[in-house]
Amino acid sequence: MNSSIEATNETSIIDIDFCNRRVSFDDDEKHPNEEETQYHQPNNVPLLLQPSYARSKSMIFDELRNFRVSLKWCALDHSSCVGKLISYMVFIFLAIIVPLLTSLFVRVPKSSPQDDPISLNKLVQLPESGLATIAFFTFSRFFRRYGLRQLLFLDVLQYDTAYVRRGYTRELEKSFRYLSYIILPSFVVELGHKIIFFYAVKLCAPYITPGFPFNSILFIFVLLSWLYRTGLFLLLCVLFRLTCELQILRFEGLHKLLEGYGSDAGVIFKEHLRIRKQLSVTSHRYRIFIIGCLVTITITQFGALLLLLASKSAKTFFNSGDLVICSVVQLSGFLLCLFGAARITHRAQKIVSIATRWHMLVTNAFAELEQCKTQVPQELATHTHSDSDSSDICISVIPQQFSSFQTRQSLVTYLQHNNGGITLYGFALDRGLLHTLFAFEFSLVLWVLSKVVVLS
């Protein structure tokens, strides 16, 4: 059963498909043929000819084709046994062996006037490799259990409106811009630091004569290792943010649905139930990654602060550049996750106030309707020979269909008790949790500073 309802004070038209739980707005009318071909597929179409099946393959017109090619070039393709083997070998070499060789064989000459940067360099290697390890095994688990399309919820995107699909396509294109905005400036600074670093240090490897060729090879491997570990960590952060943006778009579509007087409470309930289920799935997928990043970054910043305050030497770009770049990248990626989770959580909480307002508007409109019905017979009795059009006016504002008061009240009560977004073992990732984390980190910094002042 399809119904088309037009609000009296709004110009937007809302079309509701009760059978397939799809809602379309006035933006969808710009492409009527597209909507018909995508939403109303006949049941007798073979599976191999359906667009939903064709889009799941890495074909020329697949929207994830460039993403899959990028994963292969970054040695992160786990779709085949060969790709998985190459991925693990590259990870072990660039995330474990190269940082270990750098920490063991790099020395500062005694004649060098520069301060010793090796202690800070070793401190930086641990969190970078730790975050890359967490991100790599999380990504590997995603590929093994879900696949790329199911991970990004593209397999159920065909049930969404054209507004959500177009918005998600734009967010998918913008997601790698955020990745480049963080990596490219950091890589330029890291390149300048490593040039100065390898110019001032010497390599003491057994059975290898130190010289320009060996230094150049290790220099390239160190840069590749940093780029691989940083990109792997930020890639998971961007994927998490992209998933949150999809749910934000769906909540915006739900907000538009609640703007109509004739919106059906059952349709709203089913749509919210579907969004909440995907939010729960997202929380379970990324909770270990978020908690692991939080613990690793906290320990790293705490240890770096202690080491910097205990050192009596002057802090320069040569001996502290690695620490600055590492801290900026870690905090940028983690804040990207936290802000994305906080946005979707507050959108989920905001739906309660919007649904309450919608319930009030519909109830008020129904009360005015009843009042109008009682006034019509009285006016007809007093003005039997009048040519007034007042009865026609009253009939013209009557809505087509209203949900019952009890159904709308049940929907509002349900939304009040199910307004959570992204959660970590029951704790909602909202602004309140962000304030708590900030207070904890700030208290930790003040405690460290107080100990340094007392000891000095």
Q: What is the DSSP string of 85-96?
A: HHHHHHHHIIII
pLDDT digits (tens, 9 = 90+) for 165-194: 888 888 887 887 888 888 999 999 989 888
The confidence band for 57, taking pLDDT boundaries of 50, 70 and 90, is very low
Q: Which residue has the higher pLDDT, 203 or 402?
A: 203
Convert 124-158 to b/e letters by CB count within 10 Å (16 or more is b): bbbbbbbbbbbbbebbbebbeeeebbebbbbeebe
In whole angstroms, what is the distance from residue 429 CA to residue 345 CA?
Answer: 7
The confidence band for 163, taking pLDDT boundaries of 50, 70 and 90, is confident
pTM to 2 decimal places? 0.75
pLDDT digits (tens, 9 = 90+) for 403-442: 478 888 888 888 888 877 888 888 888 888 888 888 988 8
| Residue 332: its H or E element | helix 317-382
For the purposes of burial, counting CB atoms within 10 Å of the CB of 42, is it exposed (0-12), middle (13-18) or buried (19 or more)? exposed
In whole angstroms, what is the distance from residue 64 CA to residue 277 CA?
Answer: 24
The confidence band for 152, taking pLDDT boundaries of 50, 70 and 90, is confident
pLDDT > 70: what percent of the chain? 73
pLDDT at position 111 = 55
pLDDT at position 22 = 42
Q: Which residue has the higher pLDDT, 105 or 328?
A: 328
Residue 216 tokens read as: 């150049």
Nearest in space to 4 (alpha carbons), one of 432, 415, 400:
400
pLDDT digits (tens, 9 = 90+) for 234-266: 999 999 998 888 888 888 888 888 876 567 788
pLDDT at position 448 = 81
In whole angstroms, what is the distance from residue 80 CA to residue 72 CA?
Answer: 11
The confidence band for 389, taking pLDDT boundaries of 50, 70 and 90, is very low
Cα four-point dihedral sign 355, 357, 362, 364: positive
**pLDDT exceeds cutoff 60 at 18:** no
In whole angstroms, what is the distance from residue 62 CA to residue 136 CA?
Answer: 25
CB–CB of 95/129 below 8 Å?
yes
Q: Where are the beta strands (DSSP E) in 227-385?
A: none
> For residue 189, how many C-alpha atoms fall within 13 Å in the half-sphere facing its CB?
17
Mean pLDDT of the chain: 75
pLDDT at position 288 = 92
CB–CB of 430/350 below 8 Å?
no
pLDDT at position 379 = 54
Most confident stretch, 11-15, 130-134, 307-311, 371-375: 130-134
Q: What is the mean predicted confidence (pLDDT) over 107-131? A: 71
Residue 306 tokens read as: 């202690």
pLDDT at position 62 = 55
pLDDT at position 168 = 86
The confidence band for 119, taking pLDDT boundaries of 50, 70 and 90, is low
| Helices marked H in 201-262 | 212-258
CB–CB of 195/189 below 8 Å?
no
What pairing do the DSSP bridges indicate for beta strands 202-203 and 106-107?
antiparallel
pLDDT digits (tens, 9 = 90+) for 61-92: 456 677 777 788 888 888 788 888 999 999 99
pLDDT digits (tens, 9 = 90+) for 187-228: 999 898 888 888 777 777 676 666 677 778 888 999 999 999
pLDDT at position 164 = 85
pLDDT digits (tens, 9 = 90+) for 328-361: 999 999 998 998 888 888 888 888 888 888 888 8
pLDDT at position 271 = 86
